[in-house]
Amino acid sequence: MNTPPTVALPPQPEIPDAERLQAARDFRTLVERRRTVREFDTRPVARELIAECIAAAGTAPSGANLQPWHFVAVSDPAVKRRIRTAAEEEERQFYERRASEEWLEALAPLGTDWRKPFLERAPWLIAIFVQKWGRASDGAKVKHYYPVESVGIATGLLITALHTAGLATLTHTPSPMGFLNEILGRPADAERPFLLLVTGYAAPGARVPDIARRPPAAISSWFEGQ
């Protein structure tokens, strides 16, 4: 078996343990302020800012390093209008016909319904696609491994990058989302929509649901040696 080529790991800064812990606490404080927002300002956001955040998402680990994602950033009002129209039709069907009473009860504390004005009001929509397969440099078809898990990690990085840059986000998942392939010209045989990420500045005075996150002790278990 041939040994694959390698490069040196980029150097990491050597800092005292106390500073590492403080850095971790500072990051936790930063991400604790992240909330899903449904009230967006129409104030424009520079394309360069969105591009940097997408580039950060592209650094995510992926199965066999095949990077099975594609991000489509949309600011065109006409395209956003088409997306809203299609998404609201699917959402109307969901709330009026498809959703179980149990599901609707779970959504009740969030105050959501089929109406999605943020799809037009927010300056950017980022459609995230899972690529089921890709092409090698010679044009051969290449299967992607763990594509959903990989895209999930990349999406988490994207949300965090946008939050770090001072932008609000909303993860929107109308079902089904095949209309995104059609509107955005993505190949339905190779890609499927993962989610639609709405982003921009929160509207002045924006409010969010009065809900809490589970505490660390409820979401973690520890097995420690002596």
The reported pLDDT for the residue numbered 2 is 81
Q: pTM of the entire structure?
A: 0.94
The reported pLDDT for the residue numbered 221 is 96
Phi-psi category of residue 65: left, alpha or beta, with phi > 0 → left and psi -120 to 50 → alpha: left
Q: Pseudo-torsion of CA 2, 5, 61, 198, nearest 10°? A: -130
CA–centroid distance for 211 within its chain = 21
Q: Residue 167: which of 34, 48, 28 has the closest Cα?
A: 34
The reported pLDDT for the residue numbered 137 is 84
Q: Residue 95: which of 81, 116, 117 has the closest Cα?
A: 116
Q: What is the pLDDT of residues 182-191, one digit of tens each?
A: 999 999 999 9
The domain segmentation of the chain, as residue ranges, is 39-204
39-204: CATH topology is NADH Oxidase (3.40.109)
DSSP secondary structure letters along 81-144: HHHHHHHHHHHHHIIIIIS-HHHHHHHGGGT--S--THHHHSSEEEEEEEESEEE-TTS-EEE-
Cα separation, 41 vs 200, in Å, equals: 7
Q: Is residue 136 pLDDT above 80, yes or no?
A: yes
Q: What is the chain's mean pLDDT, rounded?
A: 95
The reported pLDDT for the residue numbered 226 is 76
